[in-house]
A and B are shown apart, each in its own frame.
Chain A
Amino acid sequence: MNRRNFLKVAGIATSVITVSPVLLKEQNSAKAQQQKRSYQEALKEITGGSPVKSSDKVKLIAPAIAENGAVVPVKITVNHPMEKDNYVKAIHILAKDNFEPRTLSAYLTPANGKAFISTRIRLAKTMDVVAIAELSDGTFLKAEKPVKVTIGGCG
């Protein structure tokens, strides 16, 4: 092969190896997979180390397969009174594998009437979503649900 042909082939090979914009986009979202802090650390910030018990008093509704990762609807109801000295003090929503596992913490009072929160969160990929109810007596209850997330579809 003479020099001219070699350079031509090398040139084509180089342009093929150049990273396409699509791949770069994947890398950007791959960055989200590294974590600023772990789920356990985020949990400790909320509970201070107190035990968290799974309870079916905490109803966590989220899609089994999310339509997309940018908008995932999450609804939480806690079946517990909202009276002056006995109420749900806060509902914390965590996404276990997000860069920052905490997403929203809503601090409630008896004036709410019912312990309920509905919002939309971002999930970097398939992961568990955790709802933690903090009661006025210091107890922590939780419910977890895996949500499948994919880039999916045609654009």
Chain B
Amino acid sequence: MKKLALIGAITFSIFSMSLAQEGPGQAISEQDWELYQEGINPGEVFAEETGGALFEKPMGPKNISCASCHTKNGEVEERVATAAAYYPKYDKDAKRIINLEQRIQICQSKYQGVKPFPLKSKENTALTTYLFYLAAGTKINVDTKSPEAKKAYDYGVYLFRLKRGKRYLSCQVCHEFAAGKVLRMQWLKPLGFEYNGIKGTTAADHWPAFRMTKNKVQTLQQRFQGCQKQAGQKKLPLGSPEMVALELYVKSLSNGAELKTPGLRR
């Protein structure tokens, strides 16, 4: 039995090494990727039209909209228009670290008096995308120093490096150890500015993004779930302390980068 396991392990490692090939010409070039960035991003239309409409929609017993409280002189107030750059962070109402999607839920239940849109709903995603769209150009600045934030940050690092699931992979395996290689015609890249000399994608600066293969906008945590599923891991629930910790860690890797949201991704 042990011999079989050993052969299995060796076969697997040879197999996985052959999958991750290095070299240009194996995945989309920088130049060709620019072609995707020209033109209108459906994510922007989703943000403006769907998200914007929900932002203005009066709801609940008081019949108020997000705009009722958060716009001054026809413009969304600065604090809310740039909020996306600072989440996940500690929230006084929730008494824990939460992300923007969850803050929207708290606003809905506490101030509008309605049952909030679920985290996986199109509505919550639309509102989140709208806020990220308004915040485009703002530099990401996620707190990692205060006691609560530091705890979440450390937990996020732990989860990022934790190997689990049927393929025994961690986020770190693809996004640090194998960074710079090509897997199934896609570049594997670090999620921050760089790692070991390999240029990263500063992932958090372009999520939420419109995903071409899913034909819809996804938030960063929703994207994490997609990654987890593909890596053979059980999906972590949206809004769970684990996902928020991961989001905080991954977003902090892009601290200083300007938000370019909504993004356009495969």
Stretch from B50-58, B125-133, B226-234 contacting the other chain: B226-234
CB within 8 Å of A: which residues of B?
26-29, 32-33, 35-36, 38-39, 174, 183-186, 212-213, 215, 226-227, 229-231, 266
Give CA–CA (A20, B226) in the complex, Å. 18
- The chain A residue with its CB closest to the CB of B184 is A152
Residues in chain A near residue B39, CB distance under 8 A: 73, 118, 120
Residues in chain B near residue A152, CB distance under 8 A: 184-186, 266
A110 at the interface (CB under 8 A from B): no
Instruction: Count A interface residues, CB 8 Å.
Output: 21
Give CA–CA (A148, B26) in the complex, Å. 10
| CB neighbors of B among A35-71 (8 A) | 61-68, 70-71
| CB neighbors of B among A55-95 (8 A) | 61-68, 70-71, 73, 75
Report yes or no: A154 in contact with B212, Cβ–Cβ below 8 A: no
Report yes or no: B212 in contact with A153, Cβ–Cβ below 8 A: no
Residues in chain A near residue B38, CB distance under 8 A: 73, 118
Report yes or no: A67 in contact with B184, Cβ–Cβ below 8 A: no
Contact of A67 among B28, B174, B227 (CB under 8 A): B28
CB within 8 Å of B: which residues of A?
61-68, 70-71, 73, 75, 118, 120, 148, 150-155
Interface SS of B by simple majority: loop
Report yes or no: A68 in contact with B184, Cβ–Cβ below 8 A: no
Question: A65-B26, A68-B212, A73-B35 given. 11 additional CB < 8 A pairs?
Answer: A63-B29, A63-B36, A64-B29, A65-B28, A65-B29, A67-B28, A150-B185, A153-B183, A153-B184, A153-B185, A154-B184
A117 CB to nearest B CB, Å = 12
- The chain A residue with its CB closest to the CB of B210 is A71
Contact of B213 among A61, A70, A75, A148 (CB under 8 A): A70
A74 CB to nearest B CB, Å = 9
Give CA–CA (A61, B266) in the complex, Å. 19
- The chain B residue with its CB closest to the CB of A149 is B185
4 nearest CB pairs, A to B: A153-B186, A63-B32, A155-B230, A154-B230
Residues in chain A near residue B28, CB distance under 8 A: 63, 65-67
Residues in chain A near residue B33, CB distance under 8 A: 63, 67
